[in-house]
Amino acid sequence: MSTQQQKNIIVIAAHPDEPEIYAGGTSALFAEMGHRVKFVSLTNGDCGHYSISGQELVDRRTQEAYEAARRLGVLDYSILNISDGRLTNSFEVREEVIRQIRNWKADVVITFHPEGAGHVDNRNAGRIVRDAADFIAKVPNSVPDAPYLEQSPLFLLMPDYGKRHAYSPDLVVDIGSVIEKKLLGCDAHASQFYEFAPWQRNLLDQVPQTWDARKDYILQYWSSFIEVSSEMLPTLDRLYEEGKSEKTKYAEPFEIADYGRRPSDTELKQLFPMLSQ
């Protein structure tokens, strides 16, 4: 694949494991097709456990993230050294986000909604990207150590768990062919899927040990991040083909951000070539 055909995708979330659960399937599809994918977590996830803390937890979650990236075919995973729950929309963080997007030469940026319910870090991640967006292309005096882009990327929003009741699925990607890879990406984050979340839900005694059982476990308890839901169906039929909604079981939805350009369906299919397969 030539560099002109190759797409550069960056997923910017608030915590390690969120790029995987919200966009892991789409990322695996891009990687399989030869495109370049990068994950960024704006915090180090140091609140994400009930018995491990501090640098020990940061180190563990970092290694889990790197393993998830390997399983998904993601080329790079950056984790900022900001404590979980303390992410703010400061100019320092905005400039680092500009730097990350520019240095990756991103064609597509995927992040969280800047408003609505859900985790405060997730909202702030969305706000940081939104407020950085105007400086990414053709503003050479902003963050001059990172060469500015000639064209602004397409910005897409992941529907955070607190936003699922009120979002527009402008783009829905069928991830059925890579569902195993998405689940393996989640599985790499054992501290979250098999320890912290089960502890919060009083399910620690139900965590299975074999991979086949763990696949079913993730599919059961994280189904809303994996399975097609009714609001996605019209978009599947529009972007793929009539009747696609009846054939699709696993999918990831995205909303086109209101602060970037709004592409036509033709441009969406150019940026997301899996839609034409």
Residue 200 in tokens: 């919060």
pLDDT, tens digit, 9 for 90 and up, residues 57-114: 999 999 999 999 999 999 999 999 999 999 999 999 999 999 999 999 999 999 999 9
Condensed to tens digits (0 to 9), the pLDDT of residues 150-199 reads 999 999 999 877 777 788 999 999 999 999 999 999 999 999 999 999 99
pLDDT (0 to 100) of residue 117 = 79
pLDDT value at position 62? 98
Strand partners, 154: 108
Query: Percent of the chain, pLDDT > 70?
Result: 98
* Residue 171 near residue 156 (C-beta atoms within 8 A): yes
**Percent of the chain's residues with pLDDT above 90:** 91
CA 9/CA 16 separation, integer angstroms: 17
Q: DSSP 3-state assignment of 254? A: strand
Mind listing the domains of the chain with CATH numbers? 8-276 (3.40.50.10320)
pLDDT digits (tens, 9 = 90+) for 35-73: 999 999 999 999 999 999 999 999 999 999 999 999 999
Q: What is the overall mean pLDDT for the chain?
A: 95
In terms of Cα–Cα distance, which of 69, 270, 53, 52 is closest to 186? Answer: 69
Average pLDDT rounded to a whole number, residues 196-206:
97
Is the pLDDT at 234 greater than 80? The verdict is yes
Chain center to CA of 128? 15
